[in-house]
């Protein structure tokens, strides 16, 4: 077979021709930044089938190269904006060379392209060849070759040739050589490179058959016979970790280390090529049996017997994230302690190889034998008798009322039955999260005043209004509290009228106090905004640190601060008569702060109460009164003190009739629904406002919020049942609400989805 490569003229001739090429282009004086400038091409003489290199500026704008006679080449190797290469066709003739730019301009050289005869290679042998042995290339003009390039750019320079003659090159194949084409080249500024047509096969180390290492264990010795073992540079586990190994009489031997994983074990040649010697499958514990496997409680020791148990590194219990380490371990069994929060299910045994196996356990469950009393009066204590009741964390009574045990022992727990609990099944939730359903419990309604039916989710209740409720046992009522503060109320003929204070808002606690008990209810109240409550409105001249009895210092009492949240304002109204000072002290006269006022035009001051301040004044006692603060000072006449509170923001109802989204049901089918511009006008809607959704979810839930043109803003998805959730209006949605129109209605939002009934939508500005 013949191969064609470089034929090099004498160095002097090359330099003179290159000089002609560098100076011989017809467009060298073009100084345009975008123009193509050909500065040099070569080599010349060249040989057909080799690469011709062009150097210049803006060479990326060359569309084709034209060789004699009118051979236009568009297959261009673009090395950079300054250099391109093309392969000279076998039928190219001598003559002038041209390049055509993308705009059609043709630039022609002034120097001729000449050719020389190709180098002839008669043989490359041996093939296949082993690294480290001699490779012989025979032919003609091989004395012009200066380097041999093996695959992956492994270069052997002519100085390393064992023989370098016109008709023969002999060289040692590098240990790094890989199978592939070889390239014969020189070191010219514009080198000629010719790739062989024949693939040179480089020998790799090999095995007669890949070993099957199933059920292997750390510490196992592995031996494998390897042909051409001297070519092995290293040995690797499946994850690439090197293995220490020994070589003896053509056999590699090694010990499987701890942490070896399933996969291929490979030997790596000096070239970096990997050859698989074994398929590794690490052993796992088998034939598992847990004792005990049932009736387990936290702290119990479980023995797990089987084979290969020495491979277990850690144990994962269901319901517990942290891995447990065996306390006892042998090839046939392990012992491990059950964590308190473990649940029934599969114990996972981990091994160093990353493989796992499992065995099933069942935890101990509480059981109920009796309720005492039965029936039980709502609002009173109930004793639940049975076994293993110390495992119970909460009790769910009829009506979905969840309570925690007051006391708990193995045979009994005591809970307080909420006044609004209903008759029905009892569910015990264990500390590990598992549940047990127990027999029905009959609940008698309470004997003190209570609300039999709370206001519905769709009922709007505003601060600073009268809340009307139907109640039972109203004759027992002695007081009503809202957020622990007493409020005015009227009871008449089964109806209770409560004056909701202006500072109420959000989830608000209503307490009905009776002569024989009390009950709390959480009711959503729509706040009315900021409110101010006067707590002192008499004139007190502080004089020169004048005492209480002389009309100076005065007290503010704890009753005025009950239920006041951090961030509320304590406001003083006064007149400044000189160098004014107001000192705020707790009940034991310990100073919190001293305020200074010299400007007589200042007539009030607002002090923001932190949680630390409130804790200080509410928890400090003088032993004889309910004093929260003592105010004293000088040259200030104080005539009023008030507390300014911020109620929960108002809510505006956008939807109050249920819509079942079904499975992406349409508007006409009662599914998708719209929110209109008129509904949010005057609400103060802005970036940061909240859309609040109240839903009943009956399947995997999705809700898509779209603009008026049904362009999706957000997709909400729920893997667990939700009853309420919120979406914050960002700048994107706010812009859509104000700017996107459907052309025929005042729609601003379209809601659609699946798996839920949307009961109510409100806007919290």
CATH number of the domain bearing residue 702: 2.60.120
Structure tokens at 134: 């001699």
Q: Which distant-in-sequence residues (6+ apart) come within 8 Å of 59 by Cβ?
A: 36, 78, 80, 81, 82, 83, 84
Cα-based angle 179, 180, 186 (whole degrees, multiple of 5): 120
**pLDDT value of position 448:** 83
**pLDDT per residue as tens digits for the range 51-96:** 999 999 999 999 999 999 899 999 999 999 999 999 999 888 889 9
Query: For residue 27, is pLDDT > 60?
Result: no
Local structure of residue 141 (DSSP, 8 states): S
Gap between the Cα atoms of 457 and 694, Å rounded = 8
The number of distinct structural domains making up the chain is 8
Query: For residue 19, is pLDDT > 70?
Result: no
Give the CATH number for residue 248.
2.60.40
Q: Do 189 and 91 share a structural domain?
A: no
CA distances from 108 to 93, 95, 105, 645 (A): 15, 11, 10, 89
Q: Do 389 and 318 share a structural domain?
A: no
Gap between the Cα atoms of 606 and 166, Å rounded = 104
Gap between the Cα atoms of 85 and 51, Å rounded = 6
Gap between the Cα atoms of 708 and 740, Å rounded = 6
Average pLDDT, the chain: 89
Gyration radius from the chain CA atoms: 46
* Cβ atoms of 484 and 563 closer than 8 Å: yes
Query: For residue 335, is pLDDT > 50?
Result: yes
* Cβ atoms of 320 and 339 closer than 8 Å: yes
Looking at per-residue pLDDT, the higher value among 651 and 40 belongs to 40
Looking at per-residue pLDDT, the higher value among 448 and 155 belongs to 155
Q: Do 754 and 722 share a structural domain?
A: yes
Q: Do 611 and 513 share a structural domain?
A: no
pLDDT tier at 141, thresholds 50, 70, 90 = confident
The full length of the chain comes to: 765
Structure tokens at 676: 């209109």
Query: For residue 470, is pLDDT > 80?
Result: yes
Query: For residue 2, is pLDDT > 60?
Result: no
Phi and psi for 708 in degrees, rounded to 5? -60, -25
**pLDDT value of position 68:** 92
Give the 3-state secondary structure of 454-495.
CCCCCCCCECCCEEEEECECHHHEEEEEECCEECCEEEECCE
Query: For residue 24, is pLDDT > 60?
Result: no
CA distances from 286 to 176, 256, 354 (A): 45, 20, 15
Q: Is residue 5 part of a domain?
A: no
Query: For residue 528, is pLDDT > 70?
Result: no
Query: For residue 28, is pLDDT > 70?
Result: no
pLDDT tier at 166, thresholds 50, 70, 90 = confident
Q: Do 304 and 270 share a structural domain?
A: no
CA distances from 750 to 296, 454, 657, 682, 738 (A): 53, 32, 15, 20, 14
- Find the range with the poorest average confidence among 160-174, 201-215, 440-454, 667-681: 440-454
Q: Which of 229, 248, 282 is the last residue of a domain?
A: 282
Gap between the Cα atoms of 203 and 662, Å rounded = 68
Q: Which of 646, 671, 693 is the last residue of a domain?
A: 646
Gap between the Cα atoms of 214 and 283, Å rounded = 7
**pLDDT value of position 646:** 67
Q: What is the mean pLDDT of residues 291-315?
A: 95
Q: Is residue 206 part of a domain?
A: no
Q: Is residue 66 part of a domain?
A: yes
Q: Is residue 352 part of a domain?
A: yes
Give the CATH number for residue 292.
2.60.40.10
Sign of dihedral through CA atoms 461, 467, 470, 471?
positive
Residue closest to 147 by CA, chosen among 197, 137, 54: 137
Residue in the structure block whose two tokens are 């708990």: 408
Q: Do 638 and 535 share a structural domain?
A: yes
Q: Do 758 and 661 share a structural domain?
A: yes
* Cβ atoms of 503 and 647 closer than 8 Å: yes
Whether a cis peptide bond, with omega within 30° of 0, leads into 517 is: no
**pLDDT per residue as tens digits for the range 319-331:** 999 999 999 999 9
Query: For residue 29, is pLDDT > 70?
Result: no
**pLDDT value of position 139:** 82
**pLDDT per residue as tens digits for the range 595-627:** 999 998 898 999 999 999 999 999 999 999 999
- pTM strictly above 0.75: no
pLDDT tier at 649, thresholds 50, 70, 90 = low
Looking at per-residue pLDDT, the higher value among 488 and 531 belongs to 488
Local structure of residue 578 (DSSP, 8 states): E
Looking at per-residue pLDDT, the higher value among 163 and 19 belongs to 163
**pLDDT per residue as tens digits for the range 364-392:** 999 999 999 999 988 789 999 999 999 99
* Cβ atoms of 84 and 53 closer than 8 Å: yes
Q: Is residue 408 part of a domain?
A: yes
Q: Do 178 and 226 share a structural domain?
A: no
Q: Do 21 and 53 share a structural domain?
A: yes
Q: Is residue 204 part of a domain?
A: no
**pLDDT value of position 14:** 39
**pLDDT value of position 22:** 39
Q: Is residue 602 part of a domain?
A: yes
**pLDDT value of position 4:** 37
Q: Which distant-in-sequence residues (6+ apart) come within 8 Å of 270 by Cβ?
A: 131, 175, 176, 231, 233
Query: For residue 40, is pLDDT > 70?
Result: yes
Q: What is the mean pLDDT of residues 40-55?
A: 88
Q: What is the mean pLDDT of residues 107-111?
A: 92
Gap between the Cα atoms of 120 and 139, Å rounded = 5
Q: Do 64 and 104 share a structural domain?
A: yes
**pLDDT value of position 3:** 38
**pLDDT per residue as tens digits for the range 506-522:** 778 999 999 888 888 88
- Give the containing element (helix H, strand E) for 16: helix 11-23
Q: Do 493 and 389 share a structural domain?
A: no
Domain that holds residue 377: 367-444
Structure tokens at 102: 């993308």
- Find the range with the poorest average confidence among 289-298, 419-428, 437-446, 462-471: 462-471
Query: For residue 250, is pLDDT > 80?
Result: yes
pLDDT tier at 297, thresholds 50, 70, 90 = very high
Q: Which of 592, 611, 646 is the last residue of a domain?
A: 646
Sign of dihedral through CA atoms 417, 420, 423, 429?
negative
Q: How far is CA 155 from the centre of its chain?
A: 48
**pLDDT value of position 5:** 37
Gap between the Cα atoms of 126 and 277, Å rounded = 26
Question: How far from each other are the two terminal CA atoms of the chain, in whole angstroms?
Answer: 86
pLDDT tier at 226, thresholds 50, 70, 90 = very high
The SS3 of residue 249 is coil
Structure tokens at 178: 């890989």
164-170 own/partner pairs: CB under 8 Å, 24+ apart: 166/140, 166/141, 166/142, 167/138, 167/139, 167/140, 167/142, 168/136, 168/137, 168/138, 168/139, 168/142, 169/136, 169/137, 169/142, 169/145, 170/134, 170/135, 170/136, 170/137
Q: Is residue 2 part of a domain?
A: no
Q: What percent of the chain has pLDDT over 70?
A: 94
* Cβ atoms of 708 and 750 closer than 8 Å: yes
**pLDDT value of position 114:** 86
Q: Do 755 and 673 share a structural domain?
A: yes
């Amino acid at each position: 077979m013949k191969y064609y490569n470089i034929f090099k003229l004498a160095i002097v001739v090359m330099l003179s021709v290159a000089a002609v090429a560098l100076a011989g282009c017809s467009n060298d004086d073009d100084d345009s930044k975008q123009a193509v400038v050909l500065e040099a091409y070569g080599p010349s003489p060249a040989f057909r089938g080799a690469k011709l290199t062009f150097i210049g500026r803006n060479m990326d704008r060359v569309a084709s190269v034209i060789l004699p006679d009118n051979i236009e080449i568009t297959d261009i190797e673009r090395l950079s904006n300054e250099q391109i290469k093309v392969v000279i066709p076998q039928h190219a003739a001598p003559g002038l060379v041209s390049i055509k730019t993308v705009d059609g301009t043709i630039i022609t050289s002034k120097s001729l392209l000449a050719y020389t005869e190709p180098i002839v290679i008669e043989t490359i042998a041996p093939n296949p060849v082993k690294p480290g042995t001699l490779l012989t290339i025979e032919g003609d003009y091989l004395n012009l070759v200066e380097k041999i390039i093996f695959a992956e750019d492994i270069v052997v320079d002519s100085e390393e040739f064992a023989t370098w003659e016109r008709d023969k090159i002999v060289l040692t194949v590098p240990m790094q050589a890989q199978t592939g084409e070889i390239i014969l080249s020189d070191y010219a500024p514009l080198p000629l490179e010719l790739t062989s047509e024949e693939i040179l096969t480089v020998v790799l180390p090999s095995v007669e058959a890949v070993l099957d290492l199933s059920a292997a264990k750390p510490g196992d010795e592995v031996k494998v016979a390897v042909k051409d073992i001297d070519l092995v540079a290293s040995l690797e586990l499946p994850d690439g970790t090197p293995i220490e190994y020994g070589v003896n009489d053509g056999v590699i031997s090694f010990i499987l280390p701890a942490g070896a994983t399933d996969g291929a074990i490979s030997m790596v040649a000096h070239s970096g090529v990997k050859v698989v010697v074994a398929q590794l499958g690490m052993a796992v514990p088998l034939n598992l049996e847990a004792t005990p496997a049932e009736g387990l409680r936290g702290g119990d020791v479980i023995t797990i017997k089987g084979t290969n148990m020495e491979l277990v590194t850690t144990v994962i219990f269901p319901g517990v994230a942290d891995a447990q380490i065996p306390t006892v371990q042998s090839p046939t069994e392990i012992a491990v302690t059950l964590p308190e929060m473990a649940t029934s299910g599969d114990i996972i045994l981990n091994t160093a190889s990353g493989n796992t196996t499992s065995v099933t356990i069942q935890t101990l469950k509480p059981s109920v034998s009796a309720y005492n009393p039965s029936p039980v009066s709502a609002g009173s204590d109930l004793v639940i008798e049975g076994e293993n009741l110390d495992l119970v964390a909460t009790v769910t009574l009829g009506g979905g009322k969840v309570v925690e045990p007051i006391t708990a022992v193995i045979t009994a727990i005591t809970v307080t039955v909420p006044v609004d609990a209903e008759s029905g099944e009892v569910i015990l939730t264990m500390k590990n999260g598992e549940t047990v359903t127990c027999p029905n419990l009959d609940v008698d309604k309470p004997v003190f005043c209570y609300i039999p039916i709370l206001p519905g989710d769709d009922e709007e209740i505003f601060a600073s209004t009268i809340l009307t409720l139907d109640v039972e046992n109203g004759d027992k009522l002695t007081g009503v509290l809202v957020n622990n503060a007493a409020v005015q109320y009227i009871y008449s003929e089964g109806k209770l009228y409560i004056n909701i204070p202006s500072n109420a808002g959000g989830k608000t606690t209503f307490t009905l106090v009776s002569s024989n008990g009390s009950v709390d209810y959480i009711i959503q109240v729509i706040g009315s905004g900021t409110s101010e409550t006067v707590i002192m409105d008499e004139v007190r001249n502080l004089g020169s640190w004048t005492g209480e009895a002389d009309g100076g210092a005065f007290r503010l009492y704890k009753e005025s601060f009950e239920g006041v949240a951090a961030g509320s304002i304590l406001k003083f109204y006064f007149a400044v008569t000189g160098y004014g000072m107001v000192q705020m002290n707790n009940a034991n006269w310990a100073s919190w702060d001293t305020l200074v006022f010299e400007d007589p035009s200042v007539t009030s001051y607002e002090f923001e109460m932190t949680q630390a301040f409130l804790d200080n004044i509410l928890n400090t006692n003088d032993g004889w009164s309910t004093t929260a603060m003592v105010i004293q000072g000088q040259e200030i006449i104080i005539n009023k003190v008030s507390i300014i509170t911020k109620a929960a923001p108002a809510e505006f109802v956008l939807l109050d009739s249920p819509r079942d989204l079904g499975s992406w049901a349409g508007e006409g089918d009662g599914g998708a629904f719209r929110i209109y511009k008129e509904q949010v006008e005057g609400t103060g809607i802005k970036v940061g406002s909240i859309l609040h959704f109240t839903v009943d979810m009956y399947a995997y839930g999705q809700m898509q919020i779209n603009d008026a043109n049904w362009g999706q803003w957000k997709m909400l998805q729920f893997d667990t049942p939700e009853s309420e959730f919120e979406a914050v209006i960002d700048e994107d949605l706010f812009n859509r609400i104000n700017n996107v129109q459907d052309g025929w209605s005042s729609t601003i939002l379209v809601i659609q989805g699946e798996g839920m009934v949307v009961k109510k939508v409100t806007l919290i500005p």
